[in-house]
Amino acid sequence: MRVFMLGWEFPPFISGGLGTACYGLTKAMSGLGMDIMFVLPRPVTTPFSTHVRLVSPRPGSPLASPETEFRLDEFTNVVFHTVEAQLNPYARPGETPESTTTTTTEAHSVLTSHVGSSTGSGATGSGGGRTTAATMSTQASVTGPGANYGGDMFAEVQRYAALATDIARNESFDVVHAHDWMTFPAGLAVAGLKGVPLVVQVHSTEFDRSGQNVDQRIYDIERRGMHGAIKVIAVSHLTKQICVHHYGVDPAKVEVVYNAIESHPNGHFNAEHYRINNDEKIVLFLGRITHQKGPEYFLAAARKVLEVMDNVKFVMAGSGDMIRRTIEMAAAMGIGHKVLFTGFLRGGDVDKVFQMADLYVMPSVSEPFGIAPLEAMSHDVPVLISKQSGVSEVLQHALKVDFWDTNEMANKIVAVLKHPPLASTLRQHGSFEISRMSWTDSARRCQEVYQQAISMMNGRH
């Protein structure tokens, strides 16, 4: 089976779980023998490569704009095309994808000099590591509500669609697979041109990202894509219900395919070098610092925990439009000296921050799936997740709480930190649980969906 795949992020350009999901899914599909042509909106070349290495352009490839074709050494049956379209929904006008985040070197300096030291009191003023951590965080993307989509994003979406269609014109394939709203117009155009079925995968909706304050333009694109596709893949039943109730999609059309986790060795890591203090516990928040991820609820729970435990540090790793507000909130609560902001982390620094954590907390307001808890569990870190997440549907050995119930969130944080047997049980059972989760299983489910879509297109179903 030959798949024409459309996505807007892929390692090492990762803004969130979509890039990780595309990597795991595509690699597993390649392992199953499916032939995939993956069209990306930017060159996959960077000094911060975390998963893949550029091998070489294929002979005869048009290396100049608007298109580059290449293969990656881990993807035997995948050809990648990059086109000159800037699809970065988190950048402000005039910014590059990298300028909205701290660099690996800067983030590493925070882990080394601040996670590796003990700091005194204070919020965001002077005093050792606190100043640098806060300053680094404010260098990350700082945008107001409604300003998440930088530049003329909608023109770039159409440009990507035109370039993808141009590539598809001289190719043959059985199905088109489009990931999230920015690729839906391209998916509709390519499928219409070639007369093949379109499958769209919904990793996140505008309702997840913006609550009830949806951008009507994005909603319209999402709705057209879901209704124009033969089949819709949702990353959880939670997401399927949103597709059905908010977008009017026939539930029989939507198939749930859960994300997974790629097992990897923890490698050599000197935990003592990065420890804050021998008797201090580390509670980790890792993700975009936006309304969707619930950073304010994390801080509210942190304040309650610190009322009964003093030997705790709360690490917030990530960037986003709420970063400045979150820093100010921690200071206003009087817990600024207990909250460290690392900025955006990449590659090895993500491993380091997981390996030093005693508990990972994901207090998301609306999380279609949530791969980060699986990554935490793969590093033997107990997890506490909101019930308003897709991953809560598949994890049995994780603590769960309503995102708004900060009292219960604090109680469960304290329970894990004060009772080693509970933490140990969560680690052991969690490790076993994720060992059964495989991208290969997810890839097989996608393959089944493709076959259903092809049969429906041919009128046999």
Q: 262: burial class by Cβ within 10 Å (0-12, 13-18, 19+)? A: middle
Reference 218, options 100, 60, 115, 89; nearest CA is 89
376: number of CA atoms within 13 Å, CB side?
27
Residues 238-273: tens digit of each pLDDT: 999 999 999 999 999 999 999 998 765 444 444 444
Alpha carbon 247 to chain centroid, angstroms: 23
Report percent pLDDT > 70 for the chain.
Answer: 74
Contacts for 1 with CB less than 8 Å, ≥ 6 apart? 34, 35, 174, 175, 447, 450, 451
pLDDT at 83: 79
User: Are the CB atoms for 454 and 197 separated by under 8 Å?
Assistant: yes
| Identical fold, 2-90+148-260+439-457 and 102-139+262-435 | yes
389: number of CA atoms within 13 Å, CB side?
31
Contacts for 235 with CB less than 8 Å, ≥ 6 apart? 21, 201, 202, 203, 256, 257, 258, 259, 368, 369, 390
The segments of the chain whose pLDDT lies below 70 read: 12-16, 42-68, 70, 73, 88-151, 263-278, 460-461
CATH class as words, domain 2-90+148-260+439-457:
alpha beta
CATH class as words, domain 102-139+262-435:
alpha beta
pLDDT at 66: 47
Domain ranges for the chain: 2-90+148-260+439-457, 102-139+262-435
Which pTM was predicted?
Answer: 0.79
User: Are the CB atoms for 364 and 16 separated by under 8 Å?
Assistant: no
Q: 105: burial class by Cβ within 10 Å (0-12, 13-18, 19+)? A: exposed
Residues 350-407: tens digit of each pLDDT: 999 998 999 999 999 999 999 999 999 999 999 999 999 999 999 999 999 999 999 9
Residue with tokens 């935490």: 376
